[in-house]
């Protein structure tokens, strides 16, 4: 299975990775064809798109035209969309094949509303998802602790007037690059990641070093009380240096790098079947994984 193809229900869904947007874009015709059951998915999509425009929907406008390999082997422009837009399109498909997915979307929406009222439910969901990925209890506990430490750091940044989004990303990169030698994008490329979360693919050792950098940055910030963004960048680098020094000392003892290009699968995945399934889910940008998780009656499979 190549990088430009994912498989759902033994049928192909073409996709393309957009480096600039940092996201997968899927062939709308392929998705519509599978879920509508139409013998002419392109004509079906054209009619559906026309109806959506008449209704004033922005779904069609949110689609893009990119070149994907056609059945004749040539690269031809076709409508593509990210997961969010694909989900909105699926909601507009009146077919038996799409109905289970609509039920699942309603279920997920209900669960997220419940989590707004009771945030502890989101932690439980995260733990279940990590278990399904084959992560060990030790890794999961450490990952949840890393989330707590990250939250303490971001709260400190907010108190210092740092803005979420771009400024958070800059400081994170300063800290990460200081201890690992790579910023977030470089680190993800090193591990062969695209849309996946970097921390979810760190080994235990990498998580510990990153936690040390973030915890150190938080404590140094509380001590020196940086007032400007540039001063916060210095603090982020200082926190990274603490973890960087620990990394160098450890590597001197063990004689190998503390940073791994792998994703910890050899340590955490319980079986070969899970390893194959997880690889396919990653390659699908999670879209085909979500589609495969729907049962006939619209309930999510709890594997």
| Residue 221 within a domain | yes
- Is the domain of 240 the same as that of 146? yes
| Residue 11 within a domain | yes
What does the pLDDT read at residue 209? 96
- Is the domain of 141 the same as that of 261? yes
- Is the domain of 147 the same as that of 204? yes
What does the pLDDT read at residue 24? 87
Phi, psi torsion values for 8, nearest 5 degrees: -140, 125
What does the pLDDT read at residue 281? 47
Residue 285 CB contacts under 8 Å (≥ 6 apart), including other chains? 6, 15, 23, 24, 26, 83, 194, 195
| Residue 72 within a domain | yes
What does the pLDDT read at residue 264? 54
Neighbours of 247 (CB within 10 A): 22
What does the pLDDT read at residue 289? 52
- How far is residue 171's CA from residue 162's CA, in Å, rounded to a whole number? 9
What does the pLDDT read at residue 50? 92
Q: How far is CA 18 from the centre of its chain?
A: 14
- Is the domain of 88 the same as that of 139? no
The DSSP code sequence of 237-273 is: HHHHHHHHHHHHHHHHHHSS-S--SS-SHHHH---HH
What does the pLDDT read at residue 287? 56
| Residue 286 within a domain | no
> What angle is formed at CA 88 by the lines to CA 8 and CA 40, rounded to 5 degrees?
55
**Under 8 Å between Cβ of 188 and 199:** no
Please state the pTM of the whole predicted model: 0.62
- How far is residue 28's CA from residue 22's CA, in Å, rounded to a whole number? 19
What does the pLDDT read at residue 269? 37
Tokens 């940055």 map to which residue? 217
What does the pLDDT read at residue 100? 82
- For 16, the domain range is 5-99
- Is the domain of 148 the same as that of 238? yes
What does the pLDDT read at residue 268? 38
- How far is residue 185's CA from residue 285's CA, in Å, rounded to a whole number? 17
**Under 8 Å between Cβ of 260 and 247:** no
Residue ranges, the chain, pLDDT below 70 = 1-10, 264-303
| Residue 122 within a domain | no
Domain count, the chain: 2
- How far is residue 152's CA from residue 147's CA, in Å, rounded to a whole number? 9
Tokens 């400190």 map to which residue? 156
Give the pair of three-digit tokens for residue 58.
Answer: 């922005």
What does the pLDDT read at residue 164? 92
What does the pLDDT read at residue 252? 96
What does the pLDDT read at residue 267? 38
- Is the domain of 83 the same as that of 173? no
């Amino acid at each position: 299975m190549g990088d430009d193809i994912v498989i759902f229900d033994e049928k192909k869904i073409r996709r393309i990775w957009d480096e600039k947007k940092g996201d997968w874009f899927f062939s709308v015709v392929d998705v519509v064809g599978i879920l509508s059951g139409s013998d002419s998915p392109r004509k079906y999509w054209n009619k559906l798109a026309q109806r959506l425009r008449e209704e004033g929907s922005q779904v069609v406008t949110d689609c893009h035209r990119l070149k994907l390999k056609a059945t004749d082997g040539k690269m031809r422009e076709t409508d593509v969309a990210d997961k969010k837009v694909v989900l909105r399109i699926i909601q507009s498909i009146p077919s038996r094949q799409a109905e289970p997915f609509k039920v699942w979307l309603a279920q997920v929406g209900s669960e997220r509303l419940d989590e707004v009222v009771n945030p502890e439910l989101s932690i439980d969901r995260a733990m279940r998802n990590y278990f399904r990925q084959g992560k060990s209890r030790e890794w999961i506990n450490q990952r949840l602790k890393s989330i707590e430490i990250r939250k303490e750091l971001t709260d400190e940044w907010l108190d210092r007037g740092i803005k979420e989004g771009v400024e958070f990303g800059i400081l994170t990169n300063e800290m990460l690059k200081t201890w690992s030698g790579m910023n977030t994008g470089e680190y993800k490329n090193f591990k062969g990641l695209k849309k996946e979360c970097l921390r979810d693919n760190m080994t235990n050792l990498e998580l510990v070093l990153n936690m040390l950098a973030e915890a150190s940055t938080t404590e140094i910030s509380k001590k020196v009380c940086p007032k400007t963004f540039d001063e916060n960048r210095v603090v982020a680098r200082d926190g990274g240096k603490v973890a960087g020094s620990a990394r160098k000392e450890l590597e001197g003892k063990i004689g190998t790098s503390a940073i791994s290009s792998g994703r910890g699968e050899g340590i955490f995945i319980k079986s070969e079947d899970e390893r194959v399934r997880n690889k396919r889910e990653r390659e699908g940008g999670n879209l085909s994984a979500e589609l495969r998780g729907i049962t006939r009656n619209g309930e999510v499979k709890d594997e």
